[in-house]
Amino acid sequence: MHNQKDHNRCFECDYLYIGDGFDNTVKTFDVETGRFLGSFVASGNNGLNGPRGLIFDHEGNLLVTNQKVDEGSGNVLKYNGQTGEFLGEIVKSDATGAPFAPRGIVLSKHNILFVADLVIEENGQHGEVRMYKYNGNTATFMRNLAHPPSGEFFPRSVVIGPDGYLYVSVRNNPNTAEGQLGGYVVRYNSKTGAFGGVFIHPFNDLNRPEGLVFGPDGNLYITSFRRDASDTDKILIFDGRKGKLLDKIDLDVVGQPRAFAQAILFGPDGKLFVPINGPSDPDTGAPAGPYTGSVRRYNVYHKTYDLFVPPAMSGGPLGMPWYLTFGNTNPATLAYQSDREESSNHHPPH
């Protein structure tokens, strides 16, 4: 495999970066064609073991939540945004407030870093949304956000909405059979951390929701897993102001091979990019479905897609794609912005 940072890359171009949980890399793709450009962060680089959330900070460096699978507490790693060189742990795994199982991540314009921590310890009974003050080099733990007054709290992903609130997808207890169904979305004041209430209630066909993004249309798009074999894996679409369920995009067909996603992101031309995360082999983690490892590029109005990256079984480079970011993804709202000065100020190597 060639390394992406060895290539000449145009200054004006943007690129798609995807964390691959199968070989613990961050891979890069041409934003127009989907052509694989290599590994921006090499396999296991400085302990990368379970890359999850990806964003570029305001100085253009890549931040990665690292779950450190089967190693104890996770951390947040920083890589040079032009070379992929390791720049250090901004949240150390042995620091106060370190996340145990970090997933989604966003960085506000005020340099407040929010990390969804699915569970606080092995077989833990709740998770946390952790709040850090980021100075460009380290992120100092501030506090955990308040739990909802009722219901199980296992947060998976985060995004700051057009209204300035922090939205959090929450699943039920992953350690119980009942917890495999259901889920909801809460929101917080992103400046103060004050709890702002339940935005989407559990009765909306949400099952283990994770990736959530606001579209150019102002609606909220959320990944959801199937309820049982008579259901589909899907993306649910909610009114971005009222939280009302509007529509869905099925990712597979009942009775046919599954195709599910953990994270989603809008990119150029208002297209929704959907990495197909599984199914995978439960023992080895290797891709086990005909669609696993692919990346789909959806027209959300017609619910159609083109195959942006082929699946692993057809020779594609991704084994277990998780979270994704573009260089021009806003690190707070996760919206795609063509004006680099308005996004993450990320400049690829040239």
What integer pLDDT is reported at residue 325 of this predicted model?
99
CA angle 13, 14, 15 (to 5 degrees): 125
Q: Distance between CA 288 and CA 320 in Å, rounded?
A: 10
Residue 71 DSSP code: S
| pTM score, whole prediction | 0.93
Please state, rounded to an integer, the average pLDDT across all residues of the chain. Answer: 92
What integer pLDDT is reported at residue 344 of this predicted model?
38
**pLDDT tens digits, 319-340:** 999 999 999 999 999 999 975 4
Average of pLDDT values for 67-90?
A: 96
Residue 2 confidence (pLDDT) above 70: no
What integer pLDDT is reported at residue 336 of this predicted model?
98
Token pair for residue 321?
Answer: 């794609």
Average of pLDDT values for 239-244?
A: 97
DSSP SS3 for 269? helix
**pLDDT tens digits, 87-112:** 999 999 999 999 999 999 999 999 99
DSSP SS3 for 313? helix
**pLDDT tens digits, 228-241:** 999 999 999 999 99
Structural domains of the chain ordered from first start: 4-342 (2.120.10.30)
The contacts of residue 130 (CB under 8 Å, 6+ apart) are 97, 99, 114, 115, 117, 141, 144, 145
Token pair for residue 45?
Answer: 């680089």
How far lies 91's CA from each of 102, 114, 122, 189, 230, in Å?
A: 11, 12, 19, 23, 42
Average of pLDDT values for 238-260?
A: 98
What integer pLDDT is reported at residue 150 of this predicted model?
77
What integer pLDDT is reported at residue 341 of this predicted model?
41
Residue 11 confidence (pLDDT) above 50: no
What integer pLDDT is reported at residue 12 of this predicted model?
59
Residue 227 confidence (pLDDT) above 80: yes
What integer pLDDT is reported at residue 339 of this predicted model?
52
**pLDDT tens digits, 177-222:** 888 899 999 999 999 999 999 999 988 889 999 999 999 999 999 9
Average of pLDDT values for 245-261?
A: 98
What integer pLDDT is reported at residue 122 of this predicted model?
85
Q: Does the bond joining 279 to the residue before it have cis omega, within 30 degrees of 0?
A: yes
Average of pLDDT values for 114-120?
A: 96
